[in-house]
Structure 1
C-alpha cells in the first residue's frame, strides 16, 4: 500500500488534528482563539467538524467526497485557510490528480507560514505527490526540509527512507527506515513495505544477512504482495543464488497486481525476464547436464508464457523484442539453433538497434556453418555495440573459418583496440598470423597473451610453434618445456619437443617425453 492511500496512524492523525486546530484561528468567519479561551465559537466548531469529516473520508479512501468536504471547509474559512488546502491536496493525490494537488499545496504554503507545524506536513504531502509522479529527486528536496523541521514524524521518515532507497542512497535510506520501523505500530500497513525497502537498502550496502532477515520479516507481515518477493529475488541474485532467485521471482509473478491506474493487461514483465535470466545462470552453474537442460527448457517456457500474455500493441514492441531475444538465448543453449535464429530475427524486426541480438544470431549461424551470414551479423553487432570486443573476436574466427586470414587479423585487431587485455583476440590474431606466415607478429601476439594470462600452457605451446617456424629451435624448446610445466597433460607439446631434443642430440630425453606422451594418450 502506498503511503498516500494509507490510513493515518495515531501519531500522524494527532499531528493533523493539531494543525486543524491551529487553522481554526485563521478562519475569516470567526475571531482569533486565545489560549485562555475554553470553548470554540459556533463557527469554529462547525469548521472543526467539517475538517474532521474530511479527514475521516481520507482515512476511508473516499477521495471524491473528501474533495467536496475540504472545499466546503475552504469556503467557510474565507478561502485562505491553509488547512483545507492541504487536506484537499491529499484527496487529489488519492485521485491521482497531481496538478490539482500541487496547486492546492502552493496555496497552503502561501497562507500557512504562520501556522506552526503545517509547512513540514505540506512538504511531506508534496513529497508524496512527487513520488507518485516518479519525481523522486523533487520529493527528496521537500522531504529533507520536512524532516529537518519535524524529525520525530514517522510519516516523513518513511517517505524519506523510501526516496533515498529508490535513488540509490542505501545508507541514508536505511537510517530513515530504521527510525520509522522503531516507532511504527504492528498494525501499520506500511511496516511490511518498510522492511522490504530496508532490505533493498541493506542489499545495496552489501549486508545480505540483514537484507534476508528484513525480507523474511516483510513476508511474515504480508506475503500477498509481489514487491517483497521481487526484492527477495534481487537480494538472492546479488549473492548469485540463481535457482533460489528464480523461485522467488515465480512467487512475485503469481502475486503481482498492477498498481491503481496501471494497465491490468500488462504482466509483470520485469520479473518474467529476470526469472528467465536467473534460470539461464542456474543452467550454466550446474555440472549436471540433465539439470542444465531442464533449466534452459524452463527458461524457454517462462518466456513463451510472457509472450502469450503481452498485448498485441505498438507500445509493447520493446518488451516483446526483449522477450524474443531471451527466448532465442534459451533456444540456443538447448541447441535449437534454427529456432533461435527465428526468435532473434523477430526481435530484430521489432528493434533493429539490438546489437546483442545480431551477435547471438551470428553465433548461431557460426555453429550452423553459415559463415557468410555470421560475418554479416558480427559486423552489424560491432557497428552498434562498438565498445564491446566480442563481436570482432567472433568476426575474426569467422573469417578464419572462411580462410580469409588477412581479414581475420584486422577483426582481431579491432577487438584488441577496444580491450587491450582481451586474451582470446591476441591468441586468435596470433594463429591467423601463423597462417599468413607472419611468425614474428605471431610471437608478439602470443607474448601479449602470456603477459596477461601467464599460467595458460597453450599460449606457450602456440608460441613454440611460431619460434620453430622461425628456426629458433632453442626458444621453441624452452617454450614447450614451460607449457608442460604449467600443464603436464598438454599432450600436443610432447611430440614437437621430443623432435627438437632428438635433432639436438639428446635422444634419451626425447624418448622420455615420447613415453610420457604415450602414457597420457593411453589414459585418455
Structure 2
C-alpha cells in the first residue's frame, strides 16, 4: 500500500547582474543552460571556471551548488550555498537551496532555520517558503508547527494542493483523522486532478474500515487520472477484500497490468484470486511474474510457495519458502509451511527447527507439531 510520502520543493533560480563583464555573463548563461538541460558535468566545469575567474561571484556559487546537489553531492553543494550567502547575506535563493540540501541530508533543524531566513528576507514566494519550512517541521515530527506553516502557505496561495495534503499528513501525526480527511479533500478541491490527495484520502478511509467511501474516492481519482495503474489495483483489492466480488477484482487487476505490464503487485493480486479458484498453475505463473518484477517482496515467494505446495511440488515450494524467510526471518507462515514440507520429505530435524521458529513468531499450532513429531524439542 502506498504511504503518505510527499515532499515537494518549489524554487526559483535568480541571477543578479552585478558588475559582471559580458564574458562572465555569457559564462553564467551557458552554465545555466547546461544545468537546465541536465548536462551537469559540463555545467560544473563551466562553473569551476566561473568561480576561478571571480572568487566573489555569489551567483556562480549558488548555481554550482544546485549543480552539485543535482549530482548528489550534498556536502559540497551546502558549502557552495554557504559561500554564496557569505558573499551576499540577503541571497534568498541560496538560503532556500541550502535548506533543501539540509532537508535531503536529514538535517531538518538547519533546514527550518534556512527557510526562516527566506521568510524574514522575502516579500514574494512566501507560500513556497512556508511550505518548505513546514515539510522540514513535519519530518521532525513538529506537527503543530508544520500545521501552522502549511496553514500560512494556503492563506497566501489557496490553490496549493500539496500544502493541504501535507497539512493532512501532519494532522495524522496528531491522530486527528477527521482533520486529515478534511485536508485531503481540500487538496483535491484545490486541484481536482491531484492524485496524492485522493490516494491519501482513500488509504485513510480504508484504514478506518470505510470501504464504500474508499472505493468512491479511488474511482474519482481514476476519472482524473485514467492511466494510473495503482488506482485499479487498489479498487481490485477493495472489491476482493471488502465486497468479495472476484469478477470485478479480476477486471481491475487485468486493467492495472494492461496499463503497467511491469506491475508486480497486480500479478500477485491476480494470483491470489486464482488461488481462491484453485487454479494453482495460473497462480504460480502470476506469482512468478511478480517475483521476476519485484524480487525483494517475501509475500510473492510465500504465495508461489503455497501454489507449488498445492501442486505437490514440494522441493520447489521449500525453495520459495526459504527465499521468503531469507527476506524476512520472522515470516511465520513460511516457517510453518516449510516445516510441514520438511516433515513430508523426511527431513525431521529441519522440520523441528522450523516448528520452533514458527511457534516463537506466533504460530500456536506449531506447539502440537513439536509435541507430536519432535521428541525432546522445547520452546
TM tier relative to shorter chain: 0.7 to 0.9
- Correspondence 1:490 to 2:363: yes
Instruction: Tell me the distance in 2 between the aligned counterparts of 1:267 and 1:433.
Output: 53
Give the drift of 1:354: 0.5
Gap change, CA 1:221 and 1:429, over 3 Å in 2: same
Of 265, 269, 275 in structure 1, the residue corresponding to residue 161 of structure 2 is 269
- Correspondence 1:226 to 2:127: yes
**Which residue in the other structure is 2:111 paired with?**
211
- Correspondence 1:415 to 2:258: no
**Which residue in the other structure is 1:304 paired with?**
185
CA contact (8 A) 2:267 2:290 kept: yes
**Which residue in the other structure is 2:337 paired with?**
462
- Correspondence 1:500 to 2:373: yes
Of 239, 244, 247 in structure 1, the residue corresponding to residue 147 of structure 2 is 247
- Matched ranges for 1:351-390 at <5 A: 351-368=225-242, 369-390=244-265
**Which residue in the other structure is 1:345 paired with?**
219
Instruction: Tell me the distance in 2 between the aligned counterparts of 1:438 and 1:242.
Output: 53
**Which secondary structure does the structure 1 equivalent of 2:365 belong to?**
helix
Instruction: Tell me the distance in 2 between the aligned counterparts of 1:3 and 1:424.
Output: 45
CA RMSD after TM alignment: 4.0
Give the drift of 1:438: 3.6
Give the drift of 1:452: 3.3
Gap change, CA 1:346 and 1:118, over 3 Å in 2: same
Give the drift of 1:357: 0.8
Answer with 382-391 or 342-351: which moved more: 382-391
Instruction: Tell me the distance in 1 between the aligned counterparts of 2:347 and 2:33.
Output: 73
Instruction: Tell me the distance in 1 between the aligned counterparts of 2:185 and 2:58.
Output: 44
Instruction: Tell me the distance in 1 between the aligned counterparts of 2:82 and 2:353.
Output: 64
Give the drift of 1:4: 5.8
Instruction: Tell me the distance in 1 between the aligned counterparts of 2:80 and 2:210.
Output: 51
Instruction: Tell me the distance in 2 between the aligned counterparts of 1:367 and 1:450.
Output: 26
Of 174, 177, 198 in structure 1, the residue corresponding to residue 98 of structure 2 is 198
Q: Compute the TM-score of the two structures, normalised by the length of structure 1.
A: 0.58
Gap change, CA 1:430 and 1:348, over 3 Å in 2: same
Work out which of the two has the higher radius of gyration on C-alpha atoms and give 1 or 2: 1
Answer with 247-256 or 329-338: which moved more: 247-256
Structure number with higher relative contact order (C-alpha < 8 Å, ≥ 6 residues apart): 2
Give the drift of 1:301: 1.3
CA contact (8 A) 2:32 2:43 kept: no
Give the drift of 1:416: 1.7
**Which secondary structure does the structure 2 equivalent of 1:327 belong to?**
helix
Instruction: Tell me the distance in 1 between the aligned counterparts of 2:12 and 2:356.
Output: 68
CA contact (8 A) 1:429 1:442 kept: yes
Q: Compute the TM-score of the two structures, normalised by the length of structure 2.
A: 0.77
- Correspondence 1:179 to 2:83: yes
Gap change, CA 1:467 and 1:169, over 3 Å in 2: closer
Give the drift of 1:428: 1.7
Give the drift of 1:418: 1.9
Instruction: Tell me the distance in 1 between the aligned counterparts of 2:75 and 2:352.
Output: 58
CA contact (8 A) 2:62 2:94 kept: yes
Instruction: Tell me the distance in 2 between the aligned counterparts of 1:180 and 1:471.
Output: 71
Instruction: Tell me the distance in 1 between the aligned counterparts of 2:189 and 2:61.
Output: 42
- Matched ranges for 1:256-335 at <5 A: 256-257=156-157, 267-276=159-168, 282=173, 292=175, 294-295=176-177, 297-310=178-191, 319-335=193-209
CA contact (8 A) 2:32 2:63 kept: no
**Which residue in the other structure is 2:7 paired with?**
none
> Could you list the runs of 5+ residues in structure 1 that have no partner in the other structure?
17-116, 258-265, 283-290, 311-315, 517-524
